[in-house]
Amino acid sequence: MIGRVLALVHGVRPEWREAVLGTLLPAFRNRAFSVEIRDVEDGPLADPAGFDVVCVTGSPDSAYDESLPWLRPELTYLEDAIARGVPILGVCFGSQILARALGGSVAPSARPEHGFTTVDTTRPDLVEAGPWMEYHHDTVSVSGVAEVVARNDAGVQAYVSGPHLGVQFHPEITPDVFRAWREGFTSPRSGIDDGKVDTKGIVADIENSSADAEARCDRLVERFLAHAGVRVPAAG
């Protein structure tokens, strides 16, 4: 028996779409889930009820930028998934647009984050303290239907609402993911070598931390599935 995960990416060139999922991809596949990757810029998405999980990944764009032609359709899609009880895992931008779909808001952050950091967590059984990779310039305010379960001085780092989980950080990080951010996104905002961030230092940290980061991502996916009540298919 095979479970189904829909992974949403945002303006990613086809040859980079698997890479941008990083360690999320094996974390789901090793648990006998098939992963269908769809770019929201490619048009209408399949009925969310046909999937066990919707995983919404990152974007250099902002979840409050209504000039993006795909933003409103994606919001509507996630609202439909929520109404149907399909568990959603939102990562970075994914957590931001999920927060909006749940009635919260997103705004520019006074403290953008770049690099590994730890978080204060009230649910270490779900979201451990890290260190987690951060790469974002916006911040989330959750609605009354969500509970913040991790934060730091920069703001909300993780929240839950029913079966759904949003995380501001990037559990999926690998050296290939970081390359995909620089070369795979089509957005004008995808250029990250602007002199304001120590990208060489971040690359070195990612390479040195890759094994531990992959293990943390795997645990996060396992705990998310348990939290959401998603039955892990039997292998084979």
- Is residue 55 among the annotated active site residues? no
- Is residue 92 among the annotated active site residues? yes
Signed CA dihedral, 31, 228, 106, 50: sign only: positive
Q: Per the structure block, which two tokens stand in for 10?
A: 């945002």
- Is residue 79 among the annotated active site residues? no
The active-site residue out of 164, 172, 214, 217 is 172
The active-site residue out of 55, 170, 214, 227 is 170
- The architecture in CATH of the region 3-228 reads 3-Layer(aba) Sandwich (3.40)
- φ/ψ (deg, to 5) at 159: -150, 160
CA-wise closest residue to 138 among 89, 72, 65? 65
Q: What is the full per-residue pLDDT of the chain (236 aa) written as tens digits?
A: 689 999 999 999 999 999 999 999 999 999 999 999 999 999 999 999 999 999 999 999 999 999 999 999 999 999 999 999 999 999 999 999 999 999 999 999 999 999 999 999 999 999 999 999 999 999 999 999 999 999 999 999 999 999 999 999 999 999 999 999 999 999 877 655 556 788 899 999 999 999 999 999 999 999 999 999 999 886 54
The active-site residue out of 92, 136, 164, 227 is 92
Global pTM reads: 0.96
